[in-house]
Amino acid sequence: MLTRLDDYPIHQTPEPIAHRATSDPNAYDRYWFNGLDPEGSFYFGAALGVYPHHHVMDAHFSFLGADGVQHSLHASRLAPKEPTQTQVGPISLTVLEPMRRLRFAVADNEHGIACDLTFVSRAPALEEPRTPCARSIRRGRSST
């Protein structure tokens, strides 16, 4: 079952937050967005990730303009203890309305790259089915 907290980067397994956590050092939570101008004049990609067992949070924003030049900004920090704190340098992600509206922003910075984007869902959030391997691991069985 999905809850409002499932929209925050606080998972330690691929399961919804209501399920038990893991000590797997490779567990992470990540947001990923991209967009394309219908005429093809620009493309952007934006991401924020939390790697709790590595104590790292990172974020990225990249865009490709009509001139064919790619511009990118990358930021990294120690992961905060407060899981709803989602700011890395000039890059921030805000959950405006869980499972419905998210804001990704890049504040003014020395690289001259900035944005303020709000993403609004067009359909309700759906829990993805687990792959057979993930179901076996969740039940304590290895696939090897």
Among 53, 97, 103, 104, which Cα is nearest to 75's? 104
- With a CB cutoff of 8 Å and minimum separation 6, the contacts of 15 are 130, 138
CA 100 to chain centre: 14
Averaged confidence pLDDT in the chain: 86
| Model confidence band, residue 57 (pLDDT cutoffs 50, 70, 90) | very high
Contact yes or no for 57/76 (Cβ under 8 A): yes
Number of residues assigned to the chain: 144
17-38, pLDDT tens digit by residue?
A: 655 467 778 888 899 999 999 9
| Model confidence band, residue 66 (pLDDT cutoffs 50, 70, 90) | confident
CA distances from 139 to 12, 84, 124 (A): 16, 29, 28
Look at residue 87 and tell me whether its pLDDT is greater than 90: yes
> pTM, whole model, 2 decimals?
0.77
Output the DSSP codes for 99-113.
TTEEEEEE---TT--
Instruction: State the pairing for strand pair 43-51/29-36.
Output: antiparallel
